[in-house]
Structure 1
Amino acid sequence: MTASEKAPATRNNDLIYGLNDRPHLTATVFAALQHVLASFVGIITPTLIMGSALGLQSEIPYLISMALFVSGLGTFVQARRFGPVGSGLLCLQGTSFSFISVILSAGFMVKARGGGTDEILSTIFGVCFFAAFIEVVLSQFIGKLRMLITPVVTGTIITLMGLSLIKVAMTDIAGGFGAPDLGAASHIALAALVLGTIVVLNRVDVPFLRLGAIVIGLTIGYVVAWLMGVVDFNSLPEVPLVSVPVPFKYGFSFDWVAFVPVAVIFLVSPLEAAGDLTANSMISRQPVKGPVYIRRIKSGLLADGLNSAMAAVFNSMPMVTFAQNNGVIQLTGVASRYVAFFIAGLLVILGLFPMIGAVLQLMPKPVLGGAELVMFGTVAVAGIKILAEAGLHRRNMLIVSISIGMGLGVAAVPEVLRELPKALHNIFESPITVGALCAIVLNIFLPEEFIELEEDEFDPEASVLQVMQNPDMPAKGEPTPATVVAQSNR
């Protein structure tokens, strides 16, 4: 290893414990708790949204338990590193918002043909299991993938992800699907309280409050809703004391129509995760170029893919490396990967108690909707930021305008697909699929000059490094879709 490939010898004053340091127990537990706090809402919310939208109320407590359980296992694998699997960094794995829209499409498709709870979930998890291996394979060719899935393609897809979910957030703000009093003033007031709390806390100068803004906002909204008599704890579902993880509890099914949209998102996930891992490496004072860095990125992406497959086995949605935990490292000054072992243990323990999911299930939809609006809007804005950094010149504007127009147009007027064969109709009714396909095809047939990077030159986060080193300077060069993970709370 050359000197330029080694981590800096001098430790940054803000970093108290380096990657391989072993903090004392108090510091370890304190740091682990903050990571769990920062990621808890992100881990459980996708499952809450999926279960509520698909009418799977009886299974939500168990599904939330499994989301926490597999997040703990995935975090351990990523930090512990088993052979070529795992980055060896303090990075937390959790369920991804990116998959919500396509998973809901798959679930509604099965539901429309008369499928019950078991068939819906077996199809979702079966499709996610196979699709995860797309990321497993692509993790070894991340440099080449970047040549096809360029920032303009990824920015378009991420923007569509956020925009397509806004309807879900607004419906929850109004009271939720099927609410008899949809749009009642009390619903709007609760959502406004949560939204206002998050906005205010994000503007304070206390880093801890900013990191926990969504958790605090949801907690305040939940308590106020209880005081208003909206929450009835007497209606808590009966759940066992302990959740026993059962592989493919609901069975195992596969559907090509449901598979395609999920596979599209797994094309983008490796690029986004590469940015997470690069930002984490930089914060942890690890190499951000050279063969050591390349091996770490490949190993981390391989773990991401295998963890998503494991999540499907244990009845949970696909996982991704969380970005917000990079902020916790900066806040605590603790980058030790040994902290991740405590985080993993806490998440696994939390996942064994379904009562946690049962209590969260009673959270009123307007309370959740107030936070969803922020989270989904942030996803859309992150995509817009990638597009802006990629450069909205004539070629890129043409790609973006057609792709987003087609994606949102199909969602708004599904009748446009009426003449298509049933199989194609089901595939293309997803705005993500339509928009992504348009962006990829247009990007190929409207090429621009580029220099193909060699594997050992791949630097997926050059623009993030520039921005983080000089926040007032716009990023230059070709940014990657992973820019979002260093600059937004997923």
Structure 2
Amino acid sequence: MSSTKDLIYQLEDRPTTGAALLAAFQHVLASFIGIITPTLVIGGVLGLGEEIPYLISMALFVSGVATLIQVKGIGPVGSGLLSIQGTSFSFVGGVIAAGLAVKGQGGDTREVLATVFGVCMVGSFIEMALSRFLGKLRKIITPTVTGIVVCLIGLSLIKVGITDIAGGFGAEDFGSLRNLGIAALVILTVLILQLSRYPMLRLSAIFIGLVVGCLVAAILGKVSVPGLDKVELVAIPQFFKYGLSFSWEAFLPLMFIFVITAIETVGDLTASSRVSGQPCSGPVYEKRIQGGVLGDGLNSLLAGCLNTFPNTTFSQNNGVIQLTGVASRYVGFFVAGIFILLGLFPAVGAVLQSIPKPVLGATTTLMFGTIAVAGIRILASEEFNRKKVLTVAISFGLGLGVALVPDLLQGMPPLVQKIFSSSITTGGLTAILCTLLLPDVDITEEEPKAAVEKEVSV
């Protein structure tokens, strides 16, 4: 169990409405772009055009409902932790591949979406089934594996934050002194407030940093609010708006991603437990992990029903918990309510979307860094032997390697490229294989020393 001395509000504490809203708003800001970006990317590549605004609204709406299920816990479903759900980046490549396959066969926009949502709904049952066997998989998904996955999640996301600091992908002023200066001011503001002795300043550090950054960006002409007259007033959720279809060709690339997502969710929830001062082993932990992964799968099923892409736990919110010191799961109810409202009223989301990239990138980079630290702390809690040292070394080496040198896999089949281009997938699978195949050899100070002395004497 992680220490709770740095927490202002623990898991079952009930903050005041003002404090809960402040913390919730920071969680929303941390995950808002992450929720809508996969839809923007998928919609752009597949040419979904006029359907994109509705798909974004449904992504936010379902994230709210899914977060409520995950945080509250309904029977065996949900972790009961302050764990935020959102559209998963992991599925972007698979969804695009599925959509392009349907388009290649002459399918229109409705057929593309019907097939994508159909195969995602079928795939969600894989994750739900895996949740029932997590206890038996503990010999495979060890703390070493989860620590590696959590650390790789944080490290792989840092590129996203740094890109936003520079101005965002494709920005005309990418890497300009103005963008870097704004981001530096936000980071400095957050750090100063985090070192304050006053809990409320620490709790609101991210929010104040964002406000300061937005004000300076506005003075420098970096803030532009979109034309709200072109935004739909209300988005009404509709079940199966585009119909349902299924294709094995579209399903196979996505099938494996659901398995990897279950492993990522175990890592995310383990990190959530640690930063919330909750057990990371034992029956309480096991129940939370099972409920969380089951909730992950059920929420992906719900996402397909309501015309959006698969959901998963968001790791960046663990960084918010660490930075604010608020682990109360009741904050999650406010987060869920905000997302549901954002989904129903697209204009509100359009305004939040106007936060300058350097401002948002500065805060997310800090959060992603704290996620990597959470993974390091999980690894540090383990007693290392030679097998674990080699497992960590090889997993980080290959995981970060495919991220740093993406052309490494250009000679492999397209399916292999899609699966192993992710540092999380490559590092996570490597960790699992090492756990299964490498023999357990203890590192002791005495044995190597004695062996060396014996050889020298001979």
Instruction: Give the TM-score taking structure 1 as reference length.
Output: 0.70
Please tell me whether residue 95 in structure 1 is matched to residue 86 in structure 2.
Answer: yes
Q: Which residue of 2 aligns with 1:270?
A: 266
The letter for the 2-side match of 1:380 is A
Please tell me whether residue 407 in structure 1 is matched to residue 399 in structure 2.
Answer: yes
After superposition, the C-alpha distances for 1:273-321 in whole angstroms (9 at most, x for unaligned) are 26646986969xxxx966x886666445433431243234332552338
The letter for the 1-side match of 2:426 is V
Secondary structure at the counterpart of residue 141 of structure 1: coil
Offset of residue 357 of structure 1: 1.5
Q: Which residue of 2 aligns with 1:319?
A: 312
Q: 1:117 to 1:424 in 2, by over 3 A?
A: same
Offset of residue 111 of structure 1: 8.7
Contact 2:223–2:356 (Cα < 8 Å) also in 1: yes
Unpaired runs of 5+ in structure 2? 1-6, 443-458
Q: 1:230 to 1:331 in 2, by over 3 A?
A: closer
Contact 2:24–2:332 (Cα < 8 Å) also in 1: no
Offset of residue 396 of structure 1: 1.6
Secondary structure at the counterpart of residue 376 of structure 2: helix
After superposition, the C-alpha distances for 1:255-276 in whole angstroms (9 at most, x for unaligned) are 4224424531322313542664
Contact 1:153–1:436 (Cα < 8 Å) also in 2: yes
Please tell me whether residue 241 in structure 1 is matched to residue 229 in structure 2.
Answer: no
Q: 1:185 to 1:121 in 2, by over 3 A?
A: farther
Please tell me whether residue 155 in structure 1 is matched to residue 147 in structure 2.
Answer: yes
Contact 1:139–1:270 (Cα < 8 Å) also in 2: no
Please tell me whether residue 371 in structure 1 is matched to residue 343 in structure 2.
Answer: no
Contact 1:79–1:86 (Cα < 8 Å) also in 2: yes
Separation in structure 1 between the aligned mates of residue 365 and residue 8 of structure 2, nearest angstrom: 34
Secondary structure at the counterpart of residue 174 of structure 2: coil
Separation in structure 2 between the aligned mates of residue 59 and residue 184 of structure 1, nearest angstrom: 34
Contact 2:83–2:269 (Cα < 8 Å) also in 1: no
The letter for the 1-side match of 2:263 is L
After superposition, the C-alpha distances for 1:311-355 in whole angstroms (9 at most, x for unaligned) are 3433255233865797899869x87x6x86666445423431111
Separation in structure 1 between the aligned mates of residue 366 and residue 115 of structure 2, nearest angstrom: 30
The letter for the 2-side match of 1:404 is F
Please tell me whether residue 444 in structure 1 is matched to residue 432 in structure 2.
Answer: no
Offset of residue 42 of structure 1: 3.2
The letter for the 1-side match of 2:269 is A
Q: 1:301 to 1:112 in 2, by over 3 A?
A: closer
Q: 1:139 to 1:175 in 2, by over 3 A?
A: same
Q: Which residue of 2 aligns with 1:477?
A: none
Contact 1:237–1:358 (Cα < 8 Å) also in 2: no
Please tell me whether residue 418 in structure 1 is matched to residue 410 in structure 2.
Answer: yes
Contact 2:150–2:267 (Cα < 8 Å) also in 1: no
Q: Which residue of 2 aligns with 1:257?
A: 253
The letter for the 1-side match of 2:252 is W
Please tell me whether residue 194 in structure 1 is matched to residue 186 in structure 2.
Answer: yes
Separation in structure 2 between the aligned mates of residue 316 and residue 180 of structure 1, nearest angstrom: 30
Q: Which has the larger displacement, 203-212 or 56-65?
A: 56-65
The letter for the 2-side match of 1:420 is M
1:174 aligned to which of 153, 166, 169? 166
Offset of residue 65 of structure 1: 3.8
Separation in structure 2 between the aligned mates of residue 187 and residue 447 of structure 1, nearest angstrom: 50
Q: 1:151 to 1:83 in 2, by over 3 A?
A: closer
The letter for the 2-side match of 1:267 is I
Please tell me whether residue 206 in structure 1 is matched to residue 198 in structure 2.
Answer: yes
Q: 1:341 to 1:269 in 2, by over 3 A?
A: closer
Please tell me whether residue 303 in structure 1 is matched to residue 295 in structure 2.
Answer: yes
Contact 2:385–2:441 (Cα < 8 Å) also in 1: no
Q: Over the residues paired in the alignment, what is the CA RMSD in angstroms?
A: 4.2
The letter for the 2-side match of 1:440 is I
Contact 2:234–2:345 (Cα < 8 Å) also in 1: yes
The letter for the 2-side match of 1:33 is L
Please tell me whether residue 36 in structure 1 is matched to residue 20 in structure 2.
Answer: no
Separation in structure 2 between the aligned mates of residue 313 and residue 236 of structure 1, nearest angstrom: 28
Q: 1:126 to 1:413 in 2, by over 3 A?
A: farther
Separation in structure 1 between the aligned mates of residue 396 and residue 78 of structure 2, nearest angstrom: 35
Q: Which residue of 2 aligns with 1:431?
A: 423
Contact 2:117–2:305 (Cα < 8 Å) also in 1: yes
Q: Which residue of 2 aligns with 1:136?
A: 128
Separation in structure 1 between the aligned mates of residue 278 and residue 402 of structure 2, nearest angstrom: 41
The letter for the 2-side match of 1:319 is T
Contact 1:135–1:267 (Cα < 8 Å) also in 2: no
The letter for the 1-side match of 2:259 is A
Secondary structure at the counterpart of residue 147 of structure 1: coil
Secondary structure at the counterpart of residue 237 of structure 2: coil
Match runs of 1:315-354 below 5 Å: 315-320=308-313, 323=318, 344-354=336-346
Offset of residue 156 of structure 1: 1.8
The letter for the 2-side match of 1:189 is G
Secondary structure at the counterpart of residue 238 of structure 2: coil
Q: 1:265 to 1:180 in 2, by over 3 A?
A: same
Offset of residue 134 of structure 1: 3.7
Match runs of 1:352-391 below 5 Å: 352-391=344-383
Unpaired runs of 5+ in structure 1? 1-13, 451-490
Contact 2:271–2:374 (Cα < 8 Å) also in 1: no
After superposition, the C-alpha distances for 1:39-68 in whole angstroms (9 at most, x for unaligned) are 212331312443566675977765554344
Instruction: Give the TM-score taking structure 2 as reference length.
Output: 0.74
Q: Which residue of 1 aligns with 2:220?
A: 228
